[in-house]
Amino acid sequence: MQNPLYPIFLKLHELQLLIVGAGEVGYEKLSFILKSSPDANITIVAPWVSDEIIELLAKGNYKVQIWNRAFKASDVEGKDLVIAATNIKELNHKIRDAAKAKNKLVNVADTPSLCDFYLGSIVTRGNLKVAISTNGKSPTFAKRFRQVLEEVLPNDVEQLLGNLHAIRDTLKGNFTAKVRQLNDLTASLLQQEKTENLN
């Protein structure tokens, strides 16, 4: 079976994200998002907020506001993305229905069939960001694969990206010609990696 998902990278600092729930599930979603996008604009709605979330928010200057109350359908208004992160199935369905009624993209924790998008595992090395998805089948595998990539990707990738960016700015010709030149230039990187693995 082919994975039909199309990966995109969102500028969460330019969007409005709503997370409903501030317990264990909410903490997992929030910490994952802030690790990758610390400037994300996030509103949390929950009648109770876990100590873990309070401690997490105290560690940084995040753009997170908390509404200490129960969820209302009108909370989705003005939001671009909605995450239902409670452990109450009926409430998660209510959140999804409210989001879909206003044409919002929604993620329902631990319920892939109700999700418009998934939060995959992410590896970051400066400007390089790799997202991993198993189409909702096994977040555990995605986590382990992330750990493998974190071990094999060198920490100086950022310098390499900077050098390639500088080279790209000096290339002449149309788009096709520039792509061909960059492909020729970076092909040696793969050959070098294969040689090192054989040694």
Instruction: Provide the token pair at 67.
Output: 């509404």
Q: Are 109 and 89 in contact (CB under 8 A)?
A: no
User: Given this model, what pLDDT does residue 163 score?
Assistant: 66
CA-to-CA distance for 134 and 156, rounded, in angstroms?
28
Instruction: Provide the token pair at 70.
Output: 């129960």
CA 13 vs. chain centroid, Å, equals 12
Helix (H) or strand (E) holding 130: strand 128-132
What does the DSSP assignment read for 78-89? T-SEEEE--S-H
* Mean pLDDT within 88-106: 97
Q: Are 79 and 62 in contact (CB under 8 A)?
A: no
User: Given this model, what pLDDT does residue 152 score?
Assistant: 82
* Mean pLDDT within 33-56: 97
What are the tens digits of pLDDT across the range 116-174?
998 888 988 888 899 998 887 888 898 899 899 888 887 777 776 766 677 777 777 88
* Mean pLDDT within 22-48: 96
What are the tens digits of pLDDT across the range 1-25?
788 889 899 999 999 999 999 999 9
Does residue 190 carry a pLDDT above 70?
no
Q: Which domains does the chain have, with CATH numbers?
A: 16-119 (3.40.50.720), 157-198 (no CATH)
Give the residue carrying structure tokens 């750990």.
147
User: Given this model, what pLDDT does residue 191 score?
Assistant: 58
CA-to-CA distance for 143 and 35, rounded, in angstroms?
14
Give the CA diameter of the chain. 61
Q: Are 160 and 171 in contact (CB under 8 A)?
A: no
User: Given this model, what pLDDT does residue 196 score?
Assistant: 55
